[in-house]
Structure 1
Amino acid sequence: MPPVSKTTASKTNTGNFFEDFTVGQVIEHATPRTVTEGDRALYGALYPTRFAVPSSAAFAASVGLDPHPVEELIAFHIAFGKTVPDISLNAVANLGYAELRFHQPVHPGDTLSTRSEVIGLKQNSNGRSGVVYVRSTATNQRGEVALDWCRWVMVHKRTAATEGGDLDAPETVLPELKKTLAPEDLVVPAGLDFSSYDFSAAGEPHRFDDYEIGELIDHVDGVTLTDPEHMMATRLWQNTAKVHFNTEARPDGNRLIYGGHVISMARALSFNGLANAQLIAAINGGSHVAPAFAGDTVYAWSEVLDKAAVPGAGDSVGALRLRLVATKGRDESMTLRTDEGKYADGVLLDLDYWALIPR
């Protein structure tokens, strides 16, 4: 046998390119990750979160959640991070989310494993990249679904399409995704009961009936992003995307802030005005509208899109459908789009989600 080249025998992972994906492909992601109280502590150190349920074991128990759950977004970040080496290591951009449901609370001691199925593909007209659609599912150590979601990501091709056509392009398959999850699609944690809810301990008196559809809420406070914090957060979730750490990964030499870091920052800031929107039940959709970098100051505002009773939740629990908008710099006018329909300057994140709140 001829000698094996050390280069061709490489055991390292360079990530998947657009050509490596096929519709129906199922990927089991490494590595299972056990959630700890350290995750809760670090999350609180990284984001100014003050929601009572994940902050206080006694408060959580008083509303029927014992053992004490961690923030839903901790579970999301951990599960999302598992998918990066296989789905988006060679990404141009993470484009959006849909149909994200939290099926049950996650507690310290739970171990999350994630798998993804490719549900759509579309090569871009430039022949240099394409959009990959995946449905990812995170299960705990008992095999129970903790959360699942869809996302679509633009991924580089290993080899650009041949000049004069894109005969190498796969058949375009675009999945049908719900624009919003209905109230009956929401999963309410077993035992959740807000009938003895302590509004003083939670920090605000506002309940379900105090919010009106169309209402805008300025969350007022801002936080300036730093490289050490966003890199620590992204490593905490074992997200290996090069653009978040390596100054050589982008032509401008800047480390791109992980989009989930902006989501968690905006969610934490939304406490001011939505302190009783205690639990995220689902994320209907989300777009990272513009990149964020160290030195940017993030502010947030929300719009109440809908209100609903949740089937099977009892009379003490309601759901608010909220649009959470993160901006670079404070926008007191709370403008999402221009008259031309484009996102307004400064908008970083447009997130549509359902939150559970006392009635």
Structure 2
Amino acid sequence: MHSLPSVSLLVAVRNEAEHIEDLIASIKAQEYPADKLEVIILDGGSTDGTREIVKALIKEHANYRLIGNPKTIQSAAWNLGLDVCRGEIISIVSGHVILAPDYVSKAVATLQRTCADMVGGTIRAVSATRVGEAIALAMSHPFGVGGARHRYTEREEETDSVFMGFCHRSVYEEIGVYDEELVRNQDDEFSYRLTKAGGRILCNPEIKSYYHSRSTYQSLWKQYFQYGYYKVRVLQKHPKQMSLRQFVPLGFVLALLLTSLLALFTPWGWFALVGLVGVYTFANLLASFLIAKREGWRYFWPLPLAFATIHLSYGLGFLIGLFKFYNRWNDKKGKVPQVSLD
């Protein structure tokens, strides 16, 4: 036990009163030795009582710290945590997850066994409502998220990114910190810089955490709209980071707009529009049917709308981002105007 490395968990939170108690309880329940675990909670100006809840939960734990994050966004929180943490191994943590008791132990063991530069587990989304559960299923299925294998792989394998990655301090010293220009996709952008430098990222599904997915279609739309919107800046900074799957929602939205426009002027435009919508609807319903057959028929009707929300919001966000950042293709470091849908 004495040879185990020290670990720092950097928890970025903002208005997480609903979930923060479960997260902290799961951290306290870790099998990893408490004297080897440092927990830094970085609050981005919560107004729902999150800070007060955290203070009450950590007041008797010397290895827990609560620090304010004046810039509010996750990337700034993680960078602030990197400045003050002391662990040999560092992991970023979302504010709305629950960690399995062996979460840290499995991650550290995987790092040591594989000598990978970053390791993490698959995302297991959960929710307390039927719509939220359907959203969780959609976010964990290839039809919903394409080739993002770190969201659903069932075997240990190298991936282009992982959820809440663990890596040695030396990785940050070599690669740099998180890009504070990005409100979304900042961990994916960091992962790209790591792999571009020759680093290996490994996803081990035995590293288990449970993510509280969005519980309404509106909140899911906001989330994926921002993913698409800020992905444009990632594309402008790192063109080679983008894969074909990340352009598919944009292509779908453009095809819908084009065929809708043509349908106003030509008869064959209607056929093209109906054909496009028909093919998508068939694929959507088929994926929803297969999931519902396995997970329960109560999910069959919420799933198609969850899939459509993910695809349309991401594609539309990407399209608007292209217009918003049309003159930024040579700007690799400039500040991004933040988009808020609250």
- Pick the TM interval, shorter chain: under 0.3
- Per the normalisation by structure 1, the TM-score is 0.24
| Greater strand proportion | 1
